[in-house]
A = this chain, B = another copy of it.
Amino acid sequence: MSTETRDTIFIGKKPLMAYVTSTLIQLANVPSVNIKARGLSIGRAVDVAQIVARKTENTGYSIGNIKIDSELLESEDGRKRNVSTIEIEVKKNTS
């Protein structure tokens, strides 16, 4: 029913394996999933991508493009801060 060919998993405060499971479910439906995180969750996004890549390497998935960027966020005291972001693609191998 879905017409989406890309999907995004945002990494937050849930246990790591919750995001691994979500990503694997999405990969069963779409050829490419983007794992996104910002700030302190960036390391966890890399962990999720690595675990997913290891679990799916025999079925032909691998890490694709990785982008880093920063976002200007306003904190509660009104000051603007730059927060780093990451976006990691896990995709079906085209071979």
Contacts and interface: CB of A to CB of B under 8 A. Distances in A.
A7 interface: no
A69 interface: yes
A49 interface: yes
A86 interface: yes
Contacts of A46: 42, 68, 84-86
A46 to B, nearest CB: 4
A49 B68 contact: yes
Contacts of A42: 42-43, 46
A73 interface: no
Contacts of A54: 70, 82
Contact of A88 (B50, B68, B82): B68
